[in-house]
Structure 1
Amino acid sequence: MKFRVISTKSDIENIDKNDEYIHFAFRPSNTDIFNAISNNPDIKAIQIPSSYMKTLSKSMKMFFDIHNVSLIEGDIWGHRKDINEYYEVPDSVYKKLREMVNEGLSEDNIIEKMSKETRLDPDFIRFLLNHGNY
């Protein structure tokens, strides 16, 4: 799964029609989110920083629901956009998820352990469990 990293408002105009997963590396306004989804109606998920999630309006949450776009809280740590404009979830994460699911661990246990091991946000791990191809 590849997330297109959007680090500036001008990047929103360059979202490719094939980009299904978006990560905002800055605190986007409602207009920024609206433009991203309007420019590409096939977006399946948007990840936004935790600082913005706390102030997200109910109407914006409804907008996500109406457009069937998953909202993920968190950041992508250590990614350098100057090297690659996409963040791809490593195969090792999917392998570990598969192992834990096969062991019969609960979703909460998997999220807790994976969060510690990978430094991925719990909400992101939950999304991968429910939408990933592991």
Structure 2
Amino acid sequence: MKIRVVSSREEISTLNPNERIVHLTFRPSNKDIFELVETCPRIEVIQLPKSYMATVSKSIEMFLQMQRIQLLEGDIWGHRKDINEYYVIPPLLLENIKEMKIEGKSTEEIEKMVSSESKLKPEMVAYLLTKEISV
């Protein structure tokens, strides 16, 4: 599973319309969010760093909720955009999540274990759990 890393507002218009998870490394305006949703109609998750989450307007939060798009807090640590425009969630991590799910562990247990072992926030782990993880 891949997360598209977007580092500037100019990049939004060039995105693939099939992007499902996008991480914005800049502080987006309302206009940027609207443009992102318009450019990527299949988007399911927009991830922002913690410091930018506080500046997202209530109207945008409500708009995203109405569009069934999750707004998650999180960072992409150690990712070099100049090398790859996508952050790839390690397949081994997805396999571990799948195994824990099969073992019958609770969602909370899986979120806690995976987020402590990886760089993913519990909210992103929860999103991965809701998707059909096929590795």
The normalised TM-score by structure 1 is 0.90
| 1:89-119 C-alpha deviation (Å, 9 max, x unpaired) | 1111111101211222211111111111112
The alpha carbon displacement at 1:40 in A equals 2.2
Instruction: Find the aligned partners of 2:101 and 2:40 in 1 and give their Cα distance.
Output: 33
In structure 2, relative to structure 1, the CA distance for the partners of 1:83 and 1:132 (3 Å cut) is farther
**Shift in Å, 1:132:** 4.4
Cα separation, 1, equivalents of 2:72 and 2:61: 11
Structure-to-structure mapping, 1:1-134, within 5 angstroms: 1-134=1-134
Q: TM-score, normalised by structure 2?
A: 0.90
**Would you say how many aligned residue pairs link Structure 1 and Structure 2?**
134
Partner secondary structure for residue 87 of structure 1: strand
Instruction: Decide whether the 8 Å contact of 1:111 with 1:122 is kept in 2.
Output: yes
Letter in 2 for 1:90: P
Moved over 6 A (4+): none
The unaligned stretches of length 5 or more in structure 1 are none
Q: Percent identity?
A: 44
RMSD of Structure 2 on Structure 1 (CA): 1.5
